[in-house]
A and B are shown apart, each in its own frame.
Chain A
Amino acid sequence: MFPVSKEVALWLAPVFGFAFGWLLERGRVLDYNVIVNQLRLRDFTVLKIMLTAILVGGVGVYALVELGFARWHLRDANLGGAGLGGLLFGVGMAIYGYCPGTGLAAAATGRTHALVGMLGMIAGAIAYAFAFDWLRGTVLAWSNLGRVTLADVTGLPLWALYAALAVVAVGLFAALERWQARVRA
């Protein structure tokens, strides 16, 4: 029964996308001010959403894979690509105030500057496609560990890492809430 056929998946794609866009809007992250104030360490909405999504999503997907209902979808740990890409991404996100998903959805809520950023995204993708051959021989050839997880590189079992993530995330959330309550008071 699952996963469904490619044809059925095509019909479900906009439904899942819709849920994602809806959640982003209700979560206030289509607001430039919220994202930029996260990077200025004045508003922790983005971090709370992302870490909770990773924790809840991760524990659930781990259980579903163990029970045989899902499989992993790991990508290569290309350290040059992910590291340099991440650094560049942070610069762009601070300037634009959005990541690609939030920029797309924000443009659909009347934010014209988010729409202009989407035109930039198209330009950036075109630039990448033309730089691809060169990047393939340089940055992307530096170091590729393959489809590895933190369990592979640390030698610890996955369940222990998820447990550690839960402890760290919940501890961080508790500290953030306490700090924010103090700032407000």
Chain B
Amino acid sequence: MSGIALSPLEVAAAPRSEAAPSRWNPYLIGAGIGVLSWLVFVIVAAPIGITTAGAQVAGGVAALFIGPEAVQANAYWARNPFRLDYGTLFLVGTALGGMVSALARGAFRVEHVPAVWSERFGPSIGKRFAWAFLGGALIMFASRLANGCTSGNGISQGLQLAVVGWVFFAAMFVSGVATAWLMFRTR
């Protein structure tokens, strides 16, 4: 199925990645995120991060099922309660930014199964959804264990040359490459 190796160029020409006109150079994007870091460090004294607020939102969701008392009694949520604060509002902005950018360049479209997945694992929507759910659960659990994700640890701690950021970045990259190799290798 996926015996054919895609070169970077062919990948770039795949349908979903195509709508290219208003896409920017990755170095420019990286520099933009770097400058955004300068701004948030100075103006709001809050580095870019996603999952601390994500876990707060999860606490809000959990309260619907197990009741707010049980959530408040939890040692983790007692430290990170659900509320509309800087972190959770940042998440709202991140989702809106992605959406408006896609709409503005006509790239907003429904995608159930991405191309590279489909080539290897077939077009089944249920299969892709099941694995996406599991993968999502894993990255969130892992981010809380590491006290940050690609943004909060990798970029925001990494740019301060914090040991935690670089340990996380290295571990994530090595295991990500190893897992992708196991998933996509052809015998």
- A residues apposed to B, CB below 8 Å: 2-4, 6, 9-10, 12-28, 30-34, 36-37, 39-45, 48-58, 60-61, 64, 69-79, 81-114, 116-133, 135-136, 139-140, 145, 147-153, 158, 161-162, 165, 173, 180, 183-184
Across the A-B interface, give the 6 residue pairs with the lowest CB-CB distance, nearest first.
A17-B93, A21-B97, A52-B30, A86-B171, A85-B146, A96-B135
Interface hits, B35-72 → A, CB 8 Å: 35-48, 50-51, 54-55, 57-59, 61-62
List 6 contacting pairs A-B, 8 Å CB cutoff, sorted by A.
A57-B159, A86-B142, A89-B142, A96-B132, A125-B51, A153-B163
| Contact indicator A86/B141 (Cβ below 8 Å) | no
For A12, give its contact among B44, B87, B161 (CB under 8 Å): B44
Contact A147 B162 (CB under 8 A): yes
Please determine whether B139 and A87 come into contact, CB atoms closer than 8 angstroms. Answer: no
If the complex has contacts A17-B93, A30-B98, A64-B38, are A83 and B17 also in contact, measured as CB distance less than 8 A? no
Mark interface residues in B108-142 (1 if CB within 8 Å of A CB, else 0): 11111111110000000000110111111111111
A26 near B24 with CB under 8 A, answer yes
Q: Are B171 and A13 in contact (CB under 8 A)?
A: no
Q: Tell me the residues in window 159-187 of chain B with beta carbons closer than 8 Å to chain A beta carbons.
A: 159-164, 166-181, 183-184
* B159, A128: Cβ atoms closer than 8 Å: no
A69 nearest CB across to chain B (Å): 5
Residues of chain B within 8 A (CB-CB) of A120 are 132-138, 140
Asked if B162 contacts A77 (CB within 8 A), the reply is: yes
B77 contact from A17, A79, A100, A129, Cβ within 8 A? A129
* Cβ-defined contact, B74 with A130, below 8 A: yes
Tell me which residues from 2 to 50 in chain B have a Cβ below 8 Å from any Cβ of chain A.
Answer: 5-9, 11-12, 14, 16-17, 22-24, 26-27, 29-48, 50
Chain B 60-103: CB-based contact to A (< 8 A → 1; otherwise 0): 01100000000000111100000011110111111111111110
In the bound complex, CA of A26 to CA of B45 (Å):
26
Chain A nearest CB from B140 CB (Å) reads 3
CA distance A13 to B83 in the complex (A): 14
Are A26 and B86 in contact (CB-based, < 8 A)? no
- Within the assembled complex, what's the spacing in Å between the Cα atoms of A16 and B134? 29
A91 touching B179 in the complex, CB below 8 Å, given contacts A17-B91, A57-B33, A132-B75? yes
List the B side residues contacting A95 at CB < 8 Å. Answer: 131-132, 134-135, 138, 179, 183
